Chains A and B, each alone.
Chain A
């Protein structure tokens, strides 16, 4: 699987958009970009994933650059409950269930009042 690089920590004011970047310069054509988050002492929560088009769901938006070497997760209106570790993961299973997820250190997002 391609390696990802994320900033170790970020801050965001409550109510503002949180933009979390991720670099995956060695991504290959069949690899998806997945985002998960983990709130302290809980299992990771799936947020969103995409291949090359931008994606949006009820939780967030995912913007993938045209060359696919980087992406940005956008939480449009951050709340205190969005404080968590956010993981950007590239998976080579082409969206099937057989892909292993390799978790890096992620980005600690702190949302403050």
Chain B
């Protein structure tokens, strides 16, 4: 199989605080990991692409200083939402991929900023 986990599955935080979301590939080494965001009743939007050991590539319009991505190993990537505000409330989903083949997605993290 190809299993990707995320932690936490949901989080509530106060405005101005930072939140870290972990993404792990449990049974394979992921050359590349991706972070997506999904607002209610909308489709997934790619935020950034990260390769192990190198800086993430952000999509246009995504603030790299606000959404910090670290891909420290072939099985772990983290997304930190810094100084979160209510408009950052969303469903954050990661995916992971081997050197070839499809992306496998995590179950998602529901972030609510109050």
> Are A and B subunits of one complex?
yes
Name A's interface SS.
Answer: loop
Question: Contact partner of B43 among A45, A96, A100, A104, CB < 8 A?
Answer: A104
Q: How many Å from the CB of A67 to the closest CB on chain B? A: 24
Out of B46, B98, B107, name the residue touching A101 (CB < 8 Å). B46
Give the number of chain A interface residues (Cβ < 8 Å). 22
A43-B106, A43-B108, A97-B32 known; A103 vs B43 contact (CB < 8 Å): yes
Q: How far is the CB of A44 from chain B (nearest CB, A)?
A: 5
Cα–Cα, bound, A105→B107 (Å): 19
Query: Complex: how many Å from CA A34 to CA B105?
Result: 14
Q: Which residues of chain A from 70 to 113 have any CB-CB distance to chain B below 8 Å in the complex?
A: 87, 95-98, 100-106
* CB-CB nearest in chain A for B4: A43
Chain A residues with Cβ below 8 Å from B106 are 43
B89 to chain A, nearest CB (A): 14
Q: Chain B's nearest CB lies how many Å from the CB of A97?
A: 4
Chain B residues whose C-beta falls within 8 Å of the C-beta of A98 in the assembled complex: 32, 49
Complex CA–CA separation, A44 to B6 (angstroms)? 13
Chain A: CB-nearest residue to B96: A97
Q: Distance (Å) between the CB of B74 and the closest chain A CB?
A: 11
> A97 touching B99 by the CB < 8 A rule?
yes
**Cβ B101 vs Cβ A95 within 8 A:** yes
Say whether B93 contacts A97, CB under 8 Å: no
CB closest chain-A residue, reference B32: A97
Q: A97-B32, A102-B46, A103-B44 are in contact. Are A45 and B98 (CB under 8 A)?
A: no
Question: Which of A45, A100, A103 meets B49, CB within 8 Å?
Answer: A100
Whether a CB of chain A sits under 8 angstroms from the CB of B97 is yes
User: Contacts A97-B32, A98-B32, A100-B49 given: A46-B104 contact, CB under 8 Å?
Assistant: yes
Q: Does B100 contact A (CB under 8 A)?
A: yes
- Please measure, in the bound complex, the distance between the C-alpha atom of A60 and the C-alpha atom of B35, giving whole angstroms: 27
Residues of A within 8 A of B (CB): 34, 36, 38, 41-46, 49, 87, 95-98, 100-106
Additional A-B contacts beyond A45-B105, A95-B101, A102-B46 (11; CB < 8 A): A41-B110, A43-B105, A43-B107, A44-B44, A44-B95, A97-B30, A98-B32, A103-B36, A103-B44, A103-B45, A104-B43
